[in-house]
Amino acid sequence: MGDVGYKLKILRQIGLLKVQPPHRLLKAGIKLATWGPGFPSAVGAAAARFPKQAAIIDDAGELTWQELSDEVNRATAGLKQHRIGPGDSVALLCRNHRHMVVAMVALMQLGAKVLLLNTMASASQLGELTRREGASGVIVDQEFLEVATELDRDQIVVAWQDDDSHGLPTLAGLAEGQSSSGHKKPEKSGGIVIFTSGTTGLPKGANRKEPENLDPLMAFFGAIPYSGNSTVVLAAPLFHSWGLLNFGFGLSTAPTYVLRRKFKPEQVLADIDEYRADVLVVVPLMMQRLVDADPVAIEKTDVSSLKITASSGSALAGDLANHFMDTFTDSVYNFYGATETGWVSIAAPEDLRAAPGTAGRVPWRTVVKILDTDGNELPPGETGVIYVGNEMQFGGYTDGNSKDFRDGLMHSGDLGYFDEDGRLFVAGRDDDMIVSGGENVFPRELEDALIEHPAITDVVVTGIEDKDWGQSLAAYVVVKDGESVSQDDVVAHAKKHVARFAVPRKVKFLDELPRNPTGKVMKRELPEFD
């Protein structure tokens, strides 16, 4: 099938060629032509095409596409009056709900840069990141005001509020009474920055580029077969590149998104049953928790409508995919990629059944090569560094740095190989990063925090397997002579200085660390944890 035939097939699949009233198509076309690809145009086009269809179902109820579009326009006007304008950076610290969606789209409609922060960020991380990125405002859920202690109160707008005790402006309050009329496109488009952990511990900001055309959507939907007007239970967090990708690309299909502020397996199953959901978006930890859910809840809910379980964020063990499909439906599509690289490969249910553990096949208009240390391409079966090229790679880090490239292909940071059938397998990272609960974590962040404890004289942190989180951090600690430190003390200290996913799950005390003459810790000589 040629490119034209491929594109027409995907456009039919996602409903963009569906017959509709001419006036609605005209309104959608004008919005897309005026704004180009992106969140503001996609929301406006969906509202023009399907104004009365539910756009968001969340803990506050239901919002149609027209209501969502109107609220975005009102919030845009309200944020303008709140002195947010083109080129400003605004941090978002929110869970999955309507106000986060409204904030993202309104800020991009203003031409502002959206800084998506992890909901497990500590107070020091929030303060440092907003200062480093020059944020002129911060939009947070009320529950996160406790970690906003380093921010000026006049910077803060509350998104989801539990009560009115905070005394701060709210996003809904800024929007109230404003016009729902459309806005003029800013001279410079807004953007999104996703934060990914850096080797120094403080997360690095990765600029996400808006697609320049529809080709990235064609590649994504050719590998993960979304249909138009599907119901999507989006459980993966929107601040994470995986949740954001499914939300952003999904907009073009005019779906109904089911968003919940907190992940609860039984609630997810009930939502799939009640709304006859076609798509579930998760990270692997969520899949494991769904498999381990209350058997009564699994038995009493009907999830037969589920055609796609889109998973990414950390390594997906082959037995988990098959166990999930045995328990629910043959629906797992596992996405292998990263914030920086975009997608590398996608494994369909038949791939995961035939070759458990595979990262899948390379999508349309994507190039993946396995190279040795000299840059030579390796044949199937031989392990080397994975390099990738596609149209969804990031636009560099906010500090001006980027990833390494060879012949236009980006270094993925992983080692892997292709089998004879063209399926990719990832052997592991070429550094010491671990993935805990779908989040990238580096040991050094925790090491730097623990060494500041007045009673600790030496420390090294490693990754260990964790049945709940996939992986977690474990610390080997040397205590100063005459001092006394317990595991609880170490954990309590860590909680004050690092995000929750970087807190050690286990601690072992040693008299000294095994170091070689150059001072490097010989990790192979460290005692194992029980």
Question: What digits encode the pLDDT tens for the residues 158-205?
Answer: 999 999 999 999 999 999 999 999 999 998 888 898 886 443 345 666
Per-residue pLDDT averaged across 285-293, rounded?
86
Question: What digits encode the pLDDT tens for the residues 487-513?
Answer: 999 999 999 998 888 899 999 999 998
Predicted local confidence at residue 39, as pLDDT: 92
Are the folds of 65-210 and 434-525 the same?
Answer: no
Band of residue 316 on the pLDDT scale cut at 50, 70, 90: low
CA dist 470 and 283 (Å) reads 11
Gyration radius of the chain's alpha carbons: 23
CA dist 262 and 267 (Å) reads 9
Instruction: State what percent of residues in the chain have pLDDT above 70.
Output: 88
Q: Could you say which DSSP state residue 184 is in?
A: P
pLDDT at 64 over 50: yes
Question: What digits encode the pLDDT tens for the residues 248-277?
Answer: 999 999 999 999 999 999 999 999 999 999
CA dist 286 and 438 (Å) reads 9
Band of residue 451 on the pLDDT scale cut at 50, 70, 90: confident
Question: What digits encode the pLDDT tens for the residues 73-110?
Answer: 999 999 999 999 999 999 999 999 999 999 999 999 99
The 10 Å Cβ neighbour count of residue 256 is: 22
Task: Quickly list DSSP for 77-141.
Answer: HHHHHTT--TT-EEEEE--SSHHHHHHHHHHHHHTPEEEE--TT--HHHHHHHHHHTTEEEEEE-
Predicted local confidence at residue 463, as pLDDT: 87
Per-residue pLDDT averaged across 51-64, rounded?
98
Extents of the domains making up the chain:
65-210, 434-525
pTM here is 0.79
- Ranking 22-36, 133-147, 266-280, 419-433 by mean pLDDT, the lowest is 22-36
Predicted local confidence at residue 424, as pLDDT: 95
Predicted local confidence at residue 510, as pLDDT: 95
CATH fold group of domain 65-210: Rossmann fold (3.40.50)
Class of domain 434-525: alpha beta
Which residues does 401 contact at the CB level (< 8 Å), separation at least 6?
Answer: none
The top-scoring range by mean pLDDT among 297-301, 437-441, 478-482 is 297-301
Q: Which is more confidently placed, 440 or 378? A: 378
Q: Which two tokens stand for residue 148?
A: 């906003």
Band of residue 24 on the pLDDT scale cut at 50, 70, 90: confident
Ramachandran sector of residue 12 (left: φ over 0; alpha: ψ -120 to 50; beta: rest): alpha
For the chain, give the mean pLDDT: 87
Instruction: State what percent of residues in the chain have pLDDT above 90.
Output: 55
280 in Cβ contact with 306 (< 8 Å): yes
